[in-house]
Amino acid sequence: MLRDIKGIKEIPITEIEGIRIGQAENREAGTGCTVFIADHGMAAGLDVRGGGPASRESELLKPLAAAETIHAVLLSGGSAYGLSAAGGVMQYLEENGIGLPVGDGIVPLVCQSDIFDLTVGDGHVRPDIAMGYAAAKASESGNYRDGNYGAGTGATVGKGRGMSFCTKSGIGSYAIALGKIKIGAVVVVNALGNIYDAEGRVLAGQRNLAGDGFDSVLATMAESVIPQAGMNTTIGIILTNARFTKTQLCKMAGMAHNGYARAIRPVHTSMDGDSIYAVSLGEESCSLDLAGSLSAEVMMLAIGRAVESAESAYGIPCAKEIRKGMPL
C-alpha cells in the first residue's frame, strides 16, 4: 500500500504538469463531460476490459497504429449519443492550433469513452458539440472537481437490482509524488458492482431491500436476477510525468485495471464497458513495473474518492446519506 513507501506524498491531480482538465455539465439533465488536453500532444495507451464500451478513436491507441501522440482524451456521459461531444473538443483545438499537421490544416486527435447515464435525469439531453467545447474552454482556467461534476454528474453504482436500489456516485481523483515522479488517476465510477475500500469494507453500492445499508451484487446475480445490459461503465485515465511509449502505456493501463478489481466487485462484466487510458506528459525516468503498480493504487483510491465525494441527486441517495442510518 502507498503508506508503506518512504517519501511518497499525496498531491492534487492538477499538480501534474503538461495537461489541462476542463469540465462541463447539465446538472438538471444529469450528464456532463471531462476533457484532458495536452497542448503539445501526449503519448497514450488504452486497455478495455468491459464487454460494452462506448468509445471513439480507440484504434489510434493500439501499438500498430501510426499515431504516436494524441491531443485530448474526453470522458463523457450520454452513452453512444455522447460521442458527438468530441466534435466540440476538436473545434476548440483547431481554433487554438492544436492538432496533427495535415496539408494546409490540422486534425486534432481526440479519444473518448462514455458512461451510460440516460436513466438518471433527462435521457434526451446528452453531451453534444456545445458541451464538449465548453469543457475544453473551461480547461483554460482548470475547473476540475471531484463528485457530481463533469462526466460524473449522472454516475451511479450498485445496479444489480436496477436503478431503484443503486447509489449516487461521481468522478474522483487521486495523485501522488515519489521524488520527481508524479502519477495520478481520474475515474468516473458508474459500475454494476459495489465499491470497496482497501480493507474490504463496502463504501457504496447496491442498497438492501430496507434501503438502510448495502448488500451483495454478486449474491443478487446468483439468485438469477439478471442486471440490464449496457447501463454500466467505469472509465478512467492515468496521468504521469514519466516518459513512456504508447506500447508501454497500454501495459500501464492494463495494470491500472488491478485498481478496478480491488475496488469494484463484480467488475469487467459483459454489462460494463470498463476502460482505462494512460498518458505520458513528461520526460522523467521510471520503471514501467513501478509506474504500473502505482497506477493501480492511485486508481483504487480515486474510485473511493468518487463515491465519497458524490452528493445525493435525482432521487438517488449518496453513500454518505445511506451510512447515516447504518449501525457503527
pLDDT digits (tens, 9 = 90+) for 16-41: 999 999 999 999 999 999 999 999 99
- Distance, in Å, from the CA atom of 213 to the CA atom of 304, rounded to the nearest integer, reads 17
pLDDT score of 210 more than 90: no
Q: Is-contact 55 113, C-beta < 8 A?
A: yes
List, for residues 272-293, the tens digit of each pLDDT value: 889 999 999 999 999 999 999 9
Q: Looking at the predicted structure, is the pLDDT value of residue 251 above 90?
A: yes
Could you identify the residue written with the cell 486497455?
A: 47
Task: Tell how strand 105-107 and strand 275-284 pair up.
Answer: unpaired
Domains and CATH numbers, the chain: 2-324 (3.60.70.12)
List pLDDT tens digits, range 105-156. Answer: 999 999 999 999 999 999 999 999 999 999 999 999 999 999 999 999 999 9
Check whether 309 has a pLDDT greater than 70.
yes
> Residue 49 pLDDT > 50, yes or no?
yes
Query: Is residue 223 predicted with pLDDT exceeding 90?
Result: no
State the Cα torsion 241-234-200-313 to the nearest 10°. Answer: 110
Q: 326 pLDDT band (50/70/90 cuts)?
A: low
- Asked if pLDDT for residue 227 goes beyond 70, the answer is no
